[in-house]
Structure 1
Amino acid sequence: MFILPPVERRRVGRARRCIVWRTALAPCVFLLVSCAVGPNFSRPPTPHVERYVKTDQQSFAAPGGVQTLSPAVQVRDDWWTAFGCDVIDAAVDESLTGNATLERGEATLRRSDDLLRAGAGIFYPQIDAQASASRQRYSPLRTGIESAPSIFNLFTLSATISYTLDIWGGERRQVEALAAQAESQHYALAATYLTLAANVVNAMIARAAYSDEIAATREMIGLVREQIRITQAQVTAGTSAWSAVLSLQNELATLEASVPGLEQRRAEAEHLLALLAGMYPEQWSAPAMSLRDIALPGVLPQTLPSSLVRRRPDILQAEAVLHVASANIGVATAALFPQITLSASGGLDSAVLHSLGNVSGQVWSVGAGVTAPLFHGGALWFQRKAAIDAYAESQAAYREVVLAAFAQVADTLRALEHDAQTVDAQTRAVQSAAEALRLIKESYRAGTVGYLQILIADGQYHQARIAWLQASAQRLQDTVALYAALGGGLVPES
């Protein structure tokens, strides 16, 4: 079994703990909001659909391997190990431990958690202490008494305590919104993990395919050069026209022109891998790799459509954003009602520092205050209306994310079906070209055809093989897309 590196285990552990934390927090949040104004948030219902596409196909067979969907197979958080390639495993580990986007996401997550803890401080009394020392000149004329002014020292030690009665639950709704915001960031980080891993695997597959295509193209270039040499000899002997040489030279130039483009795309894949690993391009080493080193996963996970909305990080993130919008309605509603604040203060005053504790210098006060909004020009009312509109906007955004997720799964299922058909056809083309090459070689040994026909047939075989490489790489990448579309296994179904 593939073992995650220590840093990655800690990161995945934090992602899992956030789900446990969320589950444990749910009853507490319920108690907090049970008597608060505004709507109590309820999770959107699961879509009432039984399948992702109209006609389900459980198996995708092609000469390169048969892929079968099975409900008994769960999406693992290290799903990329299903490709059986140590080079890919190492590249993913390298990116998960060094990616700059993940570091930024983790910092944002810590900030959200800290803001939640800071917001929860509203449920406790606010206590402050003050100490001051001053030298003053006091004039009795300010109180209507004619006497000489005096100069004295004043030392003060005091404390105040205040507490806002959250009668309407506005503060509780505010903390609820902060908790949902932190939850949203947890799922955003999980989505970043998933996207990063998928990008790394896709880039590794593309790089391997480009390397194989470059090798096959260079072999074809060698074959065409041999054809040109033979054709030039035939022209010298008067058995062939010079136009045949020109045609082959054109084919040679076209093939040679395609190699830099393939090398550029391979270099771009390598630079992308360096970026994803948090390195500069010159720091990232490119291990040798071929499509032959990558195994096609044979058994793929099959999940019910109803469970997709409970496991995909982007859907859960949109749900958390919807929760934030719901809580904000309660915050705006509570602002329409009176707020009650309890306060108390006490202190010690003295003109001499060593007498600061004397009873004669003690002062205190206890009070309660009510603040009721009377007229704000409609601001508070329309702020509540805006919060309701924001909730409707988040509902539409959530539905859009769900629809896009289902479309992505449907696309990948159809892609796997069509990839199998394409690979099957390309395999037959390679086999036909190989058989034609074999027969021509036998005819050459029998003396019925020239060597030039062998070179032509060999070129056709290499062209068919390049098309097969492209189809095989696409099949692997669409398999990656399926793992990503199903949520990548980072979030257990909740």
Structure 2
Amino acid sequence: MRNRKLISYLVPLFISTGLIGCTTVGPDYTIPENATINKPEAAEPFAAAEENVYRQEPLPEHWWKLYDDPVLTSLIEKALVANTDLRVASANLARARAMLEEVEMGTIPTVDVSVQPKFGRNSAGTNGSRNDRYADRWINDSGVNISYQVDLFGKIARGIEAASADTEAAQAAYDLARVTIAADTAKAYADACSSAYRIGIAEHSAELQKQFLETTTQLTRAGRGTAMDISRASAQHETLRAAIPPLQAQQKLALYRLAVLTGELPNTLVGTVGQCKTPPRLSRPIPVGDGAALLRRRPDIRQAERTLASASARIGVATADLYPNIVLGLSGGMTSWFSQFGDTNTFRWGIGPLISWTLPDTGTARSRIKQAEAEHQAAFARFDATVLNALRETESALTSYARELDRNAALKAARDQSALANDQAHRLYRHGRIDFLSTLDSERTLAADESAYAASTAKLVEDQISVFLALGGGWEQNGVQEPAEKQ
């Protein structure tokens, strides 16, 4: 009867305590109204996208397929599985998920079970018969303790909120790694192919100069030139040949970089992808969307926003330390000689709250609140900076690509005119209508224009990929499970 009466007093206390636990201190998270991402101008179409080289269409999930290059597609797909940086991001994501699980465990009761059999005797000062005090025998002491922390002011809830935001930020970091790896792989592949293309141009220019050297030698032997003409033609030939080794080195370095990006040893792709001779070409104009789509798509913006949400929740975690911490406990057990195991008078139990509160010294807690608020302000500033940087990168990439297209067209026209002038100069030189230096100058001009046009063509592909990187595409999973979940 006495136990029932005690329980009748405690149950209402526990129920009321649980109801009070609905209170959650700290700010409820929302994106600040004055955040850059909320400005209408941030969601407008890109100013640099008004060029005819772009389309106001959504960016496809796998932008590299716009090149219609099966080799490029296979390399990027391989990199998105085997790249070591992506494996690191995957491990970080798995760690964040495990930390969230740990925090969520605070919402369920903890159970401790103890069993302590031992052999010995009680001291002379204990109660019991003389035989019990001095007898050596087995003693049993076992019990169960159940405890539950009442989230009176939402400390656990805010902790879960912060850990959830951290997990989502880690997911965004993983997605950002995918974006970067896809772009880096495409750039390495384009660099390898463009280097081979430029090597072909340089070899062609050297071959033309070699033919001019042979013509000059023949004409000199026929009395229409001097040894100096041969020396100058030979020097020009060697100069053009000297441009080839750096390009060959650039091609090898690109192939080494590409191999490592795809998780292979450096020399693995030299004999396969190294056969590529022309840079990849887009099958249609670049679809770019608008600012609103960019702000939704870029993983680094999502990562910064989730970091801001986590910082907001941690203010609540710090604020909760100003208030009492209550743990409800229920314990039961049995202590007896083995010979008395199971006897009614050997059982024990207890129930009640454990209340802890640091009072009146709250200086440490208030200091932690100020730290959390300062971190929130820093996270807010980083969030704004990320949005501004994303818009700047995109506008810059769109502008650079459009202007490089103009430059490439002008260089192509110059190359074509130089080729025509060089052909005319050769014919006139063979018939004695112009001098050697004029012909040599036309050779130099053609070689320089060929090289500049080839370099610009290579840069066009690099600028295209920079546009795709700035637009933030390529992280989409299409329902495929991330490696971090395949543990």
**Normalised TM-score (structure 2):** 0.84
1:43 aligned onto 2:66: no
Structure 1 pair 93–450 and aligned structure 2 pair: CA distance change class (3 A):
farther
Counterpart for residue 3 of structure 1: none
SS at structure 1 position matched to 2:358 = coil
User: Partners in 2 of 1:174 and 1:370 — Cα distance?
Assistant: 20
TM-superposed CA distance for 1:276, in Å, is 0.3
TM-superposed CA distance for 1:96, in Å, is 1.4
- Counterpart residue identity of residue 273, structure 1: L
Counterpart for residue 8 of structure 1: none
- Counterpart residue identity of residue 333, structure 1: T
Cα pair 2:45 2:289 within 8 Å, conserved: no
SS at structure 1 position matched to 2:119 = strand
TM-superposed CA distance for 1:441, in Å, is 6.2
User: Partners in 2 of 1:475 and 1:262 — Cα distance?
Assistant: 17
Cα pair 2:45 2:291 within 8 Å, conserved: no
Cα pair 1:165 1:341 within 8 Å, conserved: yes
1:106 aligned onto 2:98: no
How many residue pairs get aligned? The number is 450
TM-superposed CA distance for 1:462, in Å, is 4.3
- Unaligned stretches of 5+ residues in structure 1: 1-32, 61-66
Structure 1 pair 376–361 and aligned structure 2 pair: CA distance change class (3 A):
same
TM-superposed CA distance for 1:378, in Å, is 2.0
SS at structure 2 position matched to 1:365 = strand
- Counterpart residue identity of residue 185, structure 1: A
Structure 1 pair 34–106 and aligned structure 2 pair: CA distance change class (3 A):
farther
- Counterpart residue identity of residue 87, structure 1: V
TM-superposed CA distance for 1:122, in Å, is 0.8
Structure 1 range deviating more: 321-330 or 360-369: 360-369
TM-superposed CA distance for 1:327, in Å, is 0.7
Counterpart for residue 251 of structure 1: 236
- Counterpart residue identity of residue 221, structure 1: A
User: Partners in 2 of 1:322 and 1:253 — Cα distance?
Assistant: 60
SS at structure 2 position matched to 1:248 = helix
Structure 1 pair 242–454 and aligned structure 2 pair: CA distance change class (3 A):
closer
TM-superposed CA distance for 1:425, in Å, is 0.4
Q: CA RMSD for the aligned pairs? A: 2.9
- Counterpart residue identity of residue 46, structure 1: N
Counterpart for residue 63 of structure 1: none
Structure 1 range deviating more: 176-185 or 84-93: 84-93
- Counterpart residue identity of residue 230, structure 2: V
User: Partners in 1 of 2:233 and 2:361 — Cα distance?
Assistant: 84
User: Partners in 2 of 1:101 and 1:183 — Cα distance?
Assistant: 18
Cα pair 2:195 2:250 within 8 Å, conserved: yes
User: Partners in 2 of 1:102 and 1:435 — Cα distance?
Assistant: 51
- Counterpart residue identity of residue 120, structure 1: E
Cα pair 2:183 2:466 within 8 Å, conserved: yes
SS at structure 1 position matched to 2:413 = helix
Counterpart for residue 290 of structure 1: 277
Counterpart for residue 258 of structure 2: 273
TM-superposed CA distance for 1:439, in Å, is 3.9
Counterpart for residue 317 of structure 2: 331
What do the CA deviations read for 1:381-410 (whole angstroms, capped 9, x no partner)?
101110100101111111111111111001
**Normalised TM-score (structure 1):** 0.83
Structure 1 range deviating more: 214-223 or 483-492: 483-492
- Counterpart residue identity of residue 96, structure 2: S
Structure 1 pair 254–52 and aligned structure 2 pair: CA distance change class (3 A):
farther
Cα pair 1:220 1:459 within 8 Å, conserved: no
Counterpart for residue 312 of structure 1: 298
User: Partners in 2 of 1:34 and 1:259 — Cα distance?
Assistant: 74
- Counterpart residue identity of residue 137, structure 1: R
User: Partners in 2 of 1:362 and 1:215 — Cα distance?
Assistant: 92
Cα pair 2:178 2:474 within 8 Å, conserved: no
Structure 1 pair 256–440 and aligned structure 2 pair: CA distance change class (3 A):
closer
What do the CA deviations read for 1:185-244 (whole angstroms, capped 9, x no partner)?
111010000000001111111111110111111222222233333334444555433333
User: Partners in 1 of 2:169 and 2:42 — Cα distance?
Assistant: 28
- Unaligned stretches of 5+ residues in structure 2: 1-20, 478-487
- Counterpart residue identity of residue 117, structure 2: A
1:218 aligned onto 2:218: no
TM-superposed CA distance for 1:360, in Å, is 2.3
SS at structure 1 position matched to 2:116 = strand
- Counterpart residue identity of residue 48, structure 1: P
1:400 aligned onto 2:385: yes
1:87 aligned onto 2:71: yes
SS at structure 1 position matched to 2:26 = coil
User: Partners in 1 of 2:255 and 2:210 — Cα distance?
Assistant: 31
Cα pair 2:48 2:395 within 8 Å, conserved: no
What do the CA deviations read for 1:41-70 (whole angstroms, capped 9, x no partner)?
11355233167798545234xxxxxx2322
1:226-237 maps to which residues of 2 (within 5 A)?
Answer: 226-237=211-222
TM-superposed CA distance for 1:344, in Å, is 0.8
User: Partners in 1 of 2:205 and 2:416 — Cα distance?
Assistant: 17
SS at structure 2 position matched to 1:291 = coil
User: Partners in 2 of 1:85 and 1:242 — Cα distance?
Assistant: 51
Counterpart of 2:285 (choices 280, 291, 299) is 299
TM-superposed CA distance for 1:150, in Å, is 4.0
- Counterpart residue identity of residue 280, structure 1: L
Cα pair 1:47 1:305 within 8 Å, conserved: no
User: Partners in 1 of 2:403 and 2:23 — Cα distance?
Assistant: 55
TM-superposed CA distance for 1:178, in Å, is 0.6
Counterpart of 2:112 (choices 92, 114, 128) is 128
TM-superposed CA distance for 1:351, in Å, is 1.3
* Larger Rg, first or second structure (1 or 2): 2
Counterpart for residue 198 of structure 1: 183
Counterpart of 1:189 (choices 171, 174, 179) is 174
User: Partners in 1 of 2:74 and 2:437 — Cα distance?
Assistant: 46
Counterpart of 1:476 (choices 461, 468, 479) is 461
User: Partners in 2 of 1:267 and 1:466 — Cα distance?
Assistant: 19
